[in-house]
Structure 1
Amino acid sequence: MDFVVKTFSELTTSELYGILQLRSEVFVVEQDCVYQDIDGKDQKALHVIGTKEGKIIAYTRLFDSGQYFDTPSIGRVVVSESQRKFGYGHDLIKASIEAVNNYYNNKEITISAQTYLLKFYTSHGFKSFGEEYLEDGIPHVRMKR
């Protein structure tokens, strides 16, 4: 899988379409969660895009300190359901952490993690803090690295 990091204005219309399609497939359809994915924040984010054979199969969006949390953050972490068996989620998180370090010159990262993924994020150095909460009807916990 190949990764690229782009600002919103650098995205092509095909890339934006692929990103929104993947996010909708997983967060709205697969997770059966009705929420406003297009939230007006994509324009402020950096976009980490993972492609395989020219198709977008993995994605995160990154925010600098103060845009979402006090520290830089990683969100909208998604891998196409058919591609998860290859461990691409781990590659995606590594690429996203590296992008935060390179673009924001900061090693501290805060995430809002779906609770069932705690073990996954812990394996990448994140530690949970605070109480579990519902975000768009799904249990989440805040984590820092």
Structure 2
Amino acid sequence: MKWYIKKFNELNSIELYNILKERVDTFVVGQNHLFQDCDDKDIEAFHVMLKEGDNVLAYLRILPPGISYEECSFGRVLVSKDYRGRGFAKELISKTMEFIDKEIKLNKVRISAQEYLIDFYKNFGFKVTSELYYIDNIPHVDMLYKR
């Protein structure tokens, strides 16, 4: 298993295919949620992934400021169904926050978090900054991290 952080144009076709496959499995099929996953934001994103061979085990995308929020952001956070409960989500967020701090050199990160993950993100220093709102019947809140 190995961690990678790549810009869109650095992804090969197998990586891109497997990222999209995992995102559909997690967010469209797994959450019974019909939405347009390919939203053009991927092109501007950094893609963080844990791979074993060609398989994507954990993934998220980091979005520069001005794409989703004024601040840097990340989303499409997932761990493949067969690999959950092994600490990969914590490792994924830790690697992401370190990359944002050291490589992108930004000190604020804003995310839209599903309600059941509020405490998970609080462990990384995020604070709730909005009332509860719904995206396709799934409760979310905005959260902000300030270094």
Q: Aligning the two structures, in what range does the TM-score lie when normalised by the shorter sequence?
A: over 0.9
The Cα shift of 1:54 comes to 4.3
- Aligned residues of 2:41 and 2:67 also touching (Cα < 8 A): no
Aligned residues: 145
Counterpart residue identity of residue 62, structure 2: L
The residue number in structure 2 matching 1:75 is 75
The Cα shift of 1:53 comes to 4.6
Counterpart residue identity of residue 142, structure 2: R
The Cα shift of 1:103 comes to 3.1
- SS of equivalent residue, structure 1 residue 109: strand
The Cα shift of 1:71 comes to 1.0
**Could you tell me the TM-score, scaled by structure 2's length?**
0.93
The residue number in structure 2 matching 1:5 is 5
Counterpart residue identity of residue 142, structure 1: D
After superposition, the Cα gap between the structure-2 partners of 1:45 and 1:137, relative to the gap in structure 1 and judged at 3 Å, is same
Q: Using the alignment, how far apart are the partners of 1:52 and 1:124 within structure 2?
A: 26
Counterparts of 1:31-110 in structure 2 under 5 Å?
A: 31-110=31-110
Q: Which runs of 5+ in 2 are unaligned?
A: none
- SS of equivalent residue, structure 2 residue 68: coil
Counterpart residue identity of residue 96, structure 1: T
Q: Using the alignment, how far apart are the partners of 1:43 and 1:82 within structure 2?
A: 28
- SS of equivalent residue, structure 1 residue 86: coil
**Could you tell me the TM-score, scaled by structure 1's length?**
0.95
Q: Using the alignment, how far apart are the partners of 2:81 and 2:127 within structure 1?
A: 26
- Aligned residues of 2:41 and 2:63 also touching (Cα < 8 A): no
1:67-123 Cα offsets, whole Å, 9 max, x none, are: 211111111111111111101100000111112123321121111001111111111
Counterpart residue identity of residue 45, structure 1: A
1:8-44 Cα offsets, whole Å, 9 max, x none, are: 1110000000100000111011111111101111101
Compare 45-54 and 126-135 and name the one that shifted more: 45-54
The Cα shift of 1:124 comes to 1.2
The Cα shift of 1:137 comes to 2.5
Q: Which runs of 5+ in 1 are unaligned?
A: none
Counterpart residue identity of residue 78, structure 2: V
Q: Using the alignment, how far apart are the partners of 1:68 and 1:104 within structure 2?
A: 16
Query: Quick one: percent identity of the two aligned structures?
Result: 39
- Aligned residues of 1:72 and 1:104 also touching (Cα < 8 A): no
The residue number in structure 1 matching 2:129 is 129
Q: Using the alignment, how far apart are the partners of 2:78 and 2:60 within structure 1?
A: 7
